[in-house]
Amino acid sequence: MKRNDFLKLSASMAAFFSLPAGATVDNQELLERLVKDEHRAFGKGVGFATAPIQTVRTAIIGMGNRGASLVEMFELMLRDKNAEIVVLCDLKQEKNESGATIMKDWQEKKPDLVADGAEAWKKVMQRDDIDLVIICTPWELHAEMALYAMENGKHVASEVPAAYTLEECWQIIETSERTGRHHIMLENCCYNDEELWLMQMVDEGVFGDLTHAECAYIHDLRMLMMDEKYYENQWRIFHHEHRNGNLYTTHGLGPVSMYFDIGRGDYYSHLVSMSSKESALSKAVVGTNLPQQYACGDMNTTLLKTFGGKTVMLQFDTHTGRPYSRINTLCGTGAVHQGYPSRLYLDHGPTWDWHRWADEQKYNEYQEKYKHTFWKTLGDEARAKSIGHGGMDFIMMWRLIHCLNKGIALDFNVYDGVLWSAITPLSELSVAQDSMRVDIPDFTGNTWKSKRKHEIMR
Ligand SMILES: NC(=O)c1ccc[n+]([C@@H]2O[C@H](COP(=O)([O-])OP(=O)(O)OC[C@H]3O[C@@H](n4cnc5c(N)ncnc54)[C@H](O)[C@@H]3O)[C@@H](O)[C@H]2O)c1
């Protein structure tokens, strides 16, 4: 980038991200990667639906850990012919073969297995016998693949995150609106039993007026990131080498945004983000051939505020040794929930009888009463899968294919996935600027102001 362009960019960045007058954004490389142009959205994706697709012809790109487990989720849909897996595509043919083996009893025709190099996915997306492309590759490829798929007339279901630069976020919105193709980010945690139970209680007023939520991706990934066989070419650890911020936002922020009606009457206005020093990962890699220094702090805490006055604490820590948690705390005037383990407090006004969570009987009563329809009807089928995060992956994939079969709007639109993903680059900017306030772009073309019921509650 030429110096003049950079100065111009710094000036517009200062305005866009509410940087104080005279603030210098000194991390040129970061800026160059995160933001380039001015963009706008029209909101055409709100309530967007296409004609019903009787059998959703599907290609899966990236047959690593995630691609293989998503193939398993297709059992019911393949048996019922609501979907067909037409292509599996990976750099390695043995990974495609394993995927084909998983589904061999559920679909008569073996899918085409494509492994002709790093660009072979383009040929897959040019085919005219595919309706939906599922993208399960490393983060840096998601947006490029999604854009190409939509340009070639395909609907896209992208693994998380949808994108990792702001430029890519805008390109996804503009391309989805222009081509009239769906882009949904596969945020499976929104379909978990506990999260949908909370959503049902929110919908029926148990939580009263919502004020605050705490959520996270806390997952000790040290062993997996260091393992040569787990992530292909150990792609994930290299993000931690060069980037510092909240690098995996969507498992925490997706469900909270659903509870908060984000994009459906409320929206995030701004954030501040702070990272701790890095220590645990660099300690873990001593004696390996991996880089010995990492930019990403062990713990990132990002605070977000909504226009409606609600606050969110979003944390990210994949370095520290401890049990997994997405926190899943939700506070309202009527109730409070905390996850890991799940507990419910039912407010009974200002009283001396405080400090006690609902007892087991009350908790079970509420769990039964407010169970979400998906779990009432599909829970047994979902839980029967040995993988798939306790059933939420199955419910998510079933629901996506169902909406496409019926020709109804998807539960989450392009603006949802993009917004939750954009928090990563925005947090990186804030961290790089000593936790400065960063405004959150309106990706919805101002449509977030119209209040409407969440599609997942239909
Ligand atoms: N939602 C969830 O719960 C969940 C769980 C795990 C992973 N994920 C996401 O899934 C994605 C993949 O993660 P993973 O754990 O499966 O990683 P992985 O490394 O096991 O799989 C990625 C696969 O993509 C393939 N690939 C790379 N470049 C390619 C190209 N040009 N063309 C075709 N294939 C290519 C690799 O060979 C590899 O098999 C990531 O975005 C991750 O965040 C989501």
For residue range 59-70, what is the model confidence (pLDDT) as tens digits? 999 999 999 999
> What is the overall mean pLDDT for the chain?
92
3-state secondary structure (DSSP) of residue 20: coil
What was the pLDDT predicted at 22?
42
119 in Cβ contact with 92 (< 8 Å): no
What was the pLDDT predicted at 28?
60
Phi-psi domain of 74 (left: phi exceeds 0; alpha: psi -120 through 50; beta: other): alpha
Nearest CA to ligand 1 atom 4: 66
Ligand 1 neighbour 139 (Cβ under 6 A): yes
Question: What is the number of the ligand 1 atom nearest to the C-alpha of 92?
Answer: 37
* Amino acid at the residue 13: M
For residue 61, give both structure tokens. Answer: 């790109």
Nearest CA to ligand 1 atom 3: 188
Nearest CA to ligand 1 atom 11: 136
Nearest CA to ligand 1 atom 5: 66
| Nearest by Cα to 43 from 345, 307, 232, 263 | 263
For residue 267, give both structure tokens. Answer: 């929206």
Q: What is the DSSP string of 266-293?
A: B-EEEEEEEE----HHHHHTTTSSS-S-
What's the average model confidence in pLDDT over 319-345?
Answer: 98
Alpha-carbon distances, residue 27 vs 6, 20, 201, 438 (angstroms):
11, 16, 44, 15
Which domains occur in the chain, in start order?
3-34 (no CATH), 190-374+413-457 (3.30.360.10)
Between the CA of 161 and the centroid of ligand 1 the distance, in Å, is 11
Q: In testing the pocket of ligand 1, which one of 133, 168, 232 has its CB within 8 Å of the most ligand atoms?
A: 232
For residue 165, give both structure tokens. Answer: 């630069």
Between the CA of 159 and the centroid of ligand 1 the distance, in Å, is 8
Nearest CA to ligand 1 atom 31: 118
Ligand 1 neighbour 13 (Cβ under 6 A): no
Ligand 1 neighbour 219 (Cβ under 6 A): no
Between the CA of 88 and the centroid of ligand 1 the distance, in Å, is 13
Distance (Å, whole) CA 375 – CA 396: 11
Distance (Å, whole) CA 201 – CA 206: 5
Rounded to the nearest 5°, which phi and psi values hold at 427? -70, -35
Distance (Å, whole) CA 196 – CA 34: 33
For residue range 151-183, what is the model confidence (pLDDT) as tens digits? 999 999 999 999 989 999 999 999 999 999 999
For residue range 371-406, what is the model confidence (pLDDT) as tens digits? 999 999 999 989 887 676 889 999 999 999 999 999
DSSP secondary structure letter of residue 457: G
What are the b/e assignments for 202-216, b being 16+ CB within 10 Å? Answer: bbeebbeebebbbbb
